[in-house]
Amino acid sequence: MGELRFDGQVAIVTGAGGSFNLGRSHAHLLASRGARVVVNDLGCGPGAHRVEPASAEAVVEEIVAAGGEAIVDLHSVAEEDSAQAIIDAAMSKWGRVDILVNNAGFGVRAEFDEISSRDIHRVIDVHLMGAIWMCRAAWPHMRKAGYGRIVSTTSGGMIGMAGMSIYGAAKFGIYGLTRGLATEGAALGIKANALSPGAATNSFGHNFTFADAQVMKGFKERFPAEYVSPAVAYLSHESCAVSGALLNAGGGEVSARLVTATAGINLPGLTIEDVRDGIDTIFDESAMTVVTDPRRPAESGGHSSVTPMMVPKAYQPG
């Protein structure tokens, strides 16, 4: 069916300055297929928790040396104005934004009652608010063009992992954002998807290790960042067939994570005891439906007949 390319398109990849991180790999792959790339990274700024310094300049030099086209951006995604500046850099240089890859972030592994208030704010500001501000800044340009692709990074930690409650909350928030944008973008030519990566990166090394050195060596060999980037690139491509999806990618494997609903119980005059007595039926997996189908992002599944009849009222700014 031919090679998937991005000739003439402009991509922004945040958090792309690490020496062996996901963003760098995404930027390299997109550039190698013809995209002009804004390589964004704050470097070792406050709260970056880096094992080693990140350099957007070095990544741009690598891309250019390989025959690609890229520019450097050093703004933070965590504030509205600086996120806008990242989008403005692409518009100023090339006059368009086709692809936004929300990859910027850092990990803090700490128990819920251990993590500092400052780190809570940092995690939420960079991961969740960073994705929101970046999408807000890119959205008007994509809407005007009638085209756009947004790919945001989530994590397996969003499903629940000890020491990752705040991080998981931010990442699940990103999935909620993705579903909302997919729904709103369905009529605008804008597709938004999320991806949970599994890779041996700087962030992993800061928060986890393996007691056995051979296991660590095997992990690094099996899960390089380069094995995640093809899924990101596909979701960034004009031929992408889904929106509102959550993919899991790592080690050469790609799967979909779906939100489903069971048939449950439906009893008029429901009581507390009905819920207690029906708990096995409520969790019965034999009859489940997909609630968030990425092939139909504007629809919500489940069993409620009320949602389709709801009429939205005009927004009243607070």
How many whole angstroms separate alpha carbon 51 and alpha carbon 75? 20
Q: Are 15 and 27 in contact (CB under 8 A)?
A: no
How many whole angstroms separate alpha carbon 285 and alpha carbon 278? 14
Among residues 147, 167, 175, 234, the one annotated as catalytic is 167
167: annotated active-site residue: yes
User: What pairing do the DSSP bridges indicate for beta strands 99-102 and 10-13?
Assistant: parallel
Nearest 5°: CA angle at 62, between 60 and 65? Answer: 105
Would you put residue 160 in left (φ > 0), alpha (ψ -120 to 50) or beta?
left
Token digits of residue 288? 């489940």
Q: Are 240 and 191 in contact (CB under 8 A)?
A: yes
How many whole angstroms separate alpha carbon 134 and alpha carbon 73? 13
| Helix extents (H) in 165-255 | 165-185, 202-207, 213-222, 229-236
User: Which candidate, 244, 240, 128, 237, places its Cα nearest to that of 195?
Assistant: 244
E strand or H helix that includes residue 83? helix 80-94
Token digits of residue 213? 């050195």
Indicate which residues carry an active-site annotation: 167
